[in-house]
Amino acid sequence: MAKLSRSKKDFILYKIKQDNFSGQTLIYGVKLDQAVLYISSPLEALDATTEILRTQLIYITAIALLLGFVIAFFMSKKLANPITKITHTAAKLAKGDYSVEFEQGHYSEIDELSHTLNYTAGELKKVEALRRELIANISHDLRTPLTMIKGYTEMIEEVSANDPEKRTQHLSIIKEETTRLENLVGEILQLSLLQSGNETIQPENLNLSETTKAVLSRFTLLLEHEGYVVESRIEHDLYVFADKLKIEQVLYNLIGNAIKHSGEKKELAIRLLDQNSVVRFEVRDSGLGIAPEDLPFIWDRYYKSKEKSRSKISSGIGLSIVKNILLLHGAAFGVENAVLGGSLFWFELKK
């Protein structure tokens, strides 16, 4: 018999080996007042239980690891599949297929990425549509004067070579179409320069009242000849800090645009008003106005409204030039359908 431990005098712990058992027995005894209470337990059963628990722990650990790998595999597949699809779709987008649609996944981050890429694809699709429309518009605008120049040149050679009056008339048309072609190319180059960020302004203390009157006077012959009615209210001596040449071009383009789209009424209203810290310019035409869906895009380069009255004239460059010049000046500007009909273009320059 081996005594394992002893404490105070109230209990005794023994581990004994008995001949009639194959293993050892653990005895725990407590001394009472007139008796001794003890409990015995074979150690072999405890060892067997421990071995079973150890074996089960190994199995459970192995099964848990296996389940962890399986779950991780399927979760990674679930996460990777939408990313793989997005990658394949992005490859199509990179090749110029702007009709693709990015699928959403099972996570908010992937959904946000898909939304962003779908928005990008939509914007690229718009850019591609504008590019194609640009090519069509510019081709048309360039072809028309070139065709007329070629045609009247042939007429001079074949018909009016010996007729001074007809020859002068034909040469005059050729000169007009050449000027038109020159102006169109100049507008394209100017717009490219403005949008490249290389264009600068030379601001000065500018009398916008006199500048507006001077620009409006350049349309006098056209307005009188075509029977336009112009209502103007230009307050005197309104000064702003701006580039004179570029603001003249803004005024010229806006007034010219209003003339082109005044419709059958042929009415224009021009305002130059003092509004405390800014000077506001307004020009209203008497046309059919602009479709609400076109208003956000009317300043875009080469954009043409779907309204027939606004699409048959102009290459869509003039308003974009206006926008970029006003942006260089830090000016507020906009367009809206006027209450009295037609469209109203405006801008505000600081004094």
Contact 86, 113 (CB under 8 A): yes
Query: In degrees, to the nearest 5, what angle opens at C-alpha 315 toward C-alphas 310 and 317?
Result: 105
pLDDT band with cut points at 50, 70 and 90 for residue 134: low
CB burial string 129-152: b at 16+ within 10 A, e below: ebeeebeebbeebeeebeebbeeb
Percent of the chain with pLDDT over 70: 78
Residues 6+ apart with CB under 8 A from 4: 13, 14, 15
Q: Which two tokens stand for residue 166?
A: 């007809």
Report the alpha-carbon distance of residue 319 to residue 298 in Å, rounded. Answer: 8
The answer, yes or no, to whether residue 29 has pLDDT greater than 60, is: yes
Q: Please check the confidence at residue 154 and state whether its pLDDT lies above 90.
A: no
Query: 16-20, 107-111, 324-328: which range is least confident on average?
Result: 16-20
pLDDT of residue 24: 66
Confidence of residue 10 (pLDDT cuts 50, 70, 90): low
What average pLDDT is seen over the chain? Answer: 79
In three-state secondary structure terms, 255 is helix
Which of residues 123 and 259 earns the better pLDDT score?
259
Residue written as tokens 């399927």? 74
pLDDT at 11: 52
Q: In angstroms, rounded to a whole number, what is the distance separating the alpha carbons of residues 219 and 226?
A: 11
Tell me, what's the pLDDT at 301? 57
pLDDT for res 348: 95
CA dihedral (166, 169, 171, 172) in degrees, to 10, reads 180
Structural Rg of the chain based on CA atoms = 44
- The pLDDT of residue 260: 87
- Exposure class string for 189-218: b at 16+ Cβ within 10 A, else e: ebbeebeeeeeeeebeebbbbebbbebbee
Q: Are 252 and 215 in contact (CB under 8 A)?
A: yes
- φ/ψ (deg, to 5) at 17: -115, 120
**215-249 pLDDT, tens per residue?**
998 888 888 888 899 999 999 999 999 999 899 98
Question: According to the model, what pLDDT value does residue 293 have?
Answer: 80
Helix then strand count (H, E) for the chain reads 8, 11
Give the pTM. 0.56
**Residue count of the chain:** 351
